[in-house]
Amino acid sequence: MKLLLSIVLLVFFHHAQAMPRLIPDAPAVDARGYVLLDFHSGHTLAERNADERLEPASLTKMMTAYVVFHELGTGQISLADMVRVSKKAWRMPGSRMFIEVGTSVSVEELLKGTIIQSGNDSSVALAEHVAGSEETFAALMNEHARNLGMHGTNFVNATGLPDANHYSTARDLARLASVLIHEFPEYYAWYSVKEYTYGGITQGNRNLLLYRDNTVDGFKTGHTESAGYCLVASAKRGDMRLISVVMGTKSEGARANESQKLLNYGFRFFETHKLYDAAQPLKAIRVWKGADETVQLGLTEPLYITVPRGQYNKLKASLSVENAIVAPTHKGQNLGAVNVRLGDQVLAERPLIALEDVAEGSLWQKLFDNVRMLLQ
């Protein structure tokens, strides 16, 4: 009887191990457009109408902040700069920081008013300080958008107030969120702040997920009558970070609920792994006619892969290199490729670069290698 039970358990265990893990479709999301993106790998886990041009409303202020962060990084402005509030900034409708015309407010305070309180007045004040006018600032926004590959985006203002020529896409905004976290982690922390007080007025962050889910640590809300309720959210559980974008939902609660659905789906059914570090030697290949006989190959950036849970051990990585590498070679030179597959699906393909220089060898080395190359 014990032997029979052992055999049954063994067969069951083997069958369970062999069964493929089922990944359900993404949950239904009541939004005009949405996308769920893995921060590290860049893999899209769920999407619908992700490239449709939609009104971003105050999600626009993510780019407003990005431009200001960039100017801070280049030293053109500083957080301590005092900005005199213009009549235009003071008169802005919609959500406000409540800055007063003619007063001076620091860039740091204006950034917090824009990020936490979603101030239209603070956004315009920042735009005028950086570029002289909101119109010129919008041109800067569009230049940065083009550089980031946000091809479905055009800005005409710093606030997100409605305009027929002011639009973006869920995918573009997910890309922008990813870049903000990557390039400006010291400022990204402000997106998790739940309330901010200026001039004796305390206002709460409108991102409801900050209060509901302690793994959510940022991003931005947006709303106008024509755009509906929008939300970009980012959450980190363990070493995995996801970014969700929902645009055109029906209420403040709906944008939070639909975003939570996407984040829970991504964390529940997928996992992300770092396969290789940047500049990690992956393969040494022969160099002909060189001062050294080999050169190490690697990647310019870390390589992350997102796969359905339980499928990591089924990944297959292959390296391909040029047939004959002849010195001199230079650090950063593209000499091959690494390819990562899951079954028949290509998950990633990255160039393999030389991690070091290899100078030309001596005359004797070159003559000797000429003969060896002819023989081979």
- Candidates 350, 208, 221; CA nearest to 274 is 350
If residue 223 lies in a helix (H) or strand (E), which one and from where to where?
strand 221-224
One of 58, 86, 122, 178 is an active-site residue; which one? Answer: 58
Q: Where in the chain is the domain with CATH 3.40.710.10?
A: 33-269
Any idea of the CA torsion for 331, 336, 342, 348, to the nearest 10 degrees? 50
Computed on alpha carbons and rounded to an integer, the radius of gyration of the chain in Å comes to 26
Distances (CA, A) of 138 to 72, 165, 272, 292: 17, 12, 36, 52
Read off the pTM. 0.89
In whole angstroms, give the CA distance from residue 241 to residue 267.
9
Q: Where in the chain is the domain with CATH 2.60.410.10?
A: 277-375
Q: What is the 3-state secondary structure (H, E, C) of 40-107?
A: CCCCEEEEECCCCCECCHHHHHHHHHHHHHHHHHHCCCCCCCEEECCHHHHCCCCCCCCCCCCCEEEH
**Residue 358 near residue 287, CB atoms below 8 Å:** yes
Long-range Cβ contacts of 151-154 (<8 Å, 24+ apart): 152/51, 152/52, 152/53
Indicate the CATH number of 277-375 among 3.40.50.10860, 2.60.410.10, 3.40.50.10490, 3.10.50.40.
2.60.410.10
Residue 58 annotated as catalytic:
yes
Residue 78 annotated as catalytic:
no
- Name the CATH topology of 33-269: Beta-lactamase (3.40.710)
One of 61, 112, 220, 289 is an active-site residue; which one? Answer: 61
One of 95, 118, 123, 244 is an active-site residue; which one? Answer: 118
In whole angstroms, give the CA distance from residue 206 to residue 162.
20
Tens of pLDDT, residue by residue, the chain (376 residues): 333 333 333 333 333 333 345 688 889 999 999 999 999 999 999 999 999 999 999 999 999 999 999 999 999 999 999 999 999 999 999 999 999 999 999 999 999 999 999 999 999 999 999 999 999 999 999 999 999 999 999 999 999 999 999 999 999 999 999 999 999 999 999 999 999 999 999 999 999 999 999 999 999 999 999 999 999 999 999 999 999 999 999 999 999 999 999 999 999 999 999 999 999 999 999 887 888 889 999 999 999 999 999 999 999 999 999 888 888 999 999 999 999 999 999 999 999 999 999 888 677 776 665 667 676 7
